[in-house]
Amino acid sequence: MSRSVPFVPKEYYHIYNRGVNKMTIFNDILDYDRFQKLLYIVNSKETGKFSNIIKSKKFLFDQERGETLIDIGAYCLMPNHFHLLVKIKNQKDAAIFLQRLQLSYSKYFNVKNKRSGVLFQGKSKSRHIIQNNDLKYNFSYIHLNPVKLIQKNWKDDGIKDIKKTIKYLSSYKYSSYLDFVESKRPELNILNRSVFPNYFSSSKLFKKELLEWLNYDKN
């Protein structure tokens, strides 16, 4: 997977992609679960048949995978697109990871739904994050994406029900939000937060940051 603008090693990026023609790429729990497992298992310099590993009933995001290709700091899966916040190790490994991720999921999705053809809207898009405050903001931006599912225009209209919004985010299993507020899920192993600045040394600070972006002052 070649890129017109190569990734810069040891730099941070917001990577995203959506279904072709904005089609839904996650139809049910199984689809979300499959993509989360792929985020973990294809992120490895080891090669193998990922589908066989994922199908194992013992898969708990603790499979031995050796050295990773990329470092993931946050992610969110939405019905027709996904977001990743990553730190690049090198251009080649990042390209391998993204190619494996999209090809593996596309194959699964097409077989499951008896379809053929491309699933994603071309290569993953990326935005190079240079400023420290921009990097911190992306943790909030990515994790607040699901709010649009219950209040589409919340950024313009403001949050109508803050308790409902927080409850919804806390029940949304298809992002790393829960790994910042609980740190107990097996999916936590998808992330490597140690190579990212420690903006949120506690779940309280993380929640406070998101509440501020929701334009809500709990005091």
Neighbours of 83 (CB within 10 A): 19
Select 12-213's CATH number: 3.40.50.720, 3.20.20.60, 3.40.50.970, 3.30.70.1290.
Answer: 3.30.70.1290
* Helix 162-171 × helix 203-213 angle, to 10°: 130
- Tell me the Ramachandran region of residue 174: left when phi exceeds 0, alpha when psi lies from -120 to 50, beta otherwise: alpha
The percent of residues above 90 in pLDDT, for the chain, comes to: 80
Residue 217 has what pLDDT?
45
Percent of the chain at pLDDT > 70 equals: 90
Tens digit of pLDDT for each residue in 81-126?
999 999 999 999 999 999 999 999 999 999 999 999 999 998 899 9
pLDDT tens readout for residues 49-87 = 666 667 666 677 888 888 999 999 999 999 999 999 999
Q: Which residues pair with 120 in a beta bridge?
A: 19
Helices (H), the chain: 29-41, 50-54, 91-112, 132-143, 154-157, 162-171, 177-181, 203-213
For residue 1, pLDDT over 60 is answered with no
Q: pLDDT tens digits, residue range 198-219?
A: 999 999 999 999 999 997 544 3
Q: What is the pLDDT of residue 218?
A: 43
Separation of alpha carbons 42 and 131, rounded Å: 29
Q: Delimit the domains of the chain by residue range.
A: 12-213
Q: Phi, psi (5° rounding) for residue 121? A: -80, 70
Q: Quote the CA–CA distance of 10 and 37 in Å, as a whole number.
A: 25
Whether the Cβ atoms of residue 82 and residue 21 lie closer than 8 Å to each other: no
162 band by pLDDT with thresholds 50, 70 and 90 = very high
Model confidence band, residue 7 (pLDDT cutoffs 50, 70, 90): very high
Cβ-contact 60, 202 below 8 angstroms: no
**What mean pLDDT is predicted for residues 4-31?**
94
Predicted confidence at residue 215, as pLDDT, reads 78
pLDDT of residue 219: 36
Q: CA angle 8-12-18, nearest 5°?
A: 100
Query: For position 147, what pLDDT does the model report?
Result: 97
pTM of the predicted protein model: 0.93
Model confidence at 182, pLDDT cuts 50, 70, 90, reads confident
pLDDT given at position 164 = 94
Residue 48 has pLDDT above 90, yes or no: no
Enumerate long-range contacts of 42-47, CB under 8 Å, 24 or more apart.
42/97, 42/100, 42/101, 42/104, 43/68, 43/69, 43/70, 43/72, 43/97, 43/190, 44/68, 44/69, 45/69, 45/93
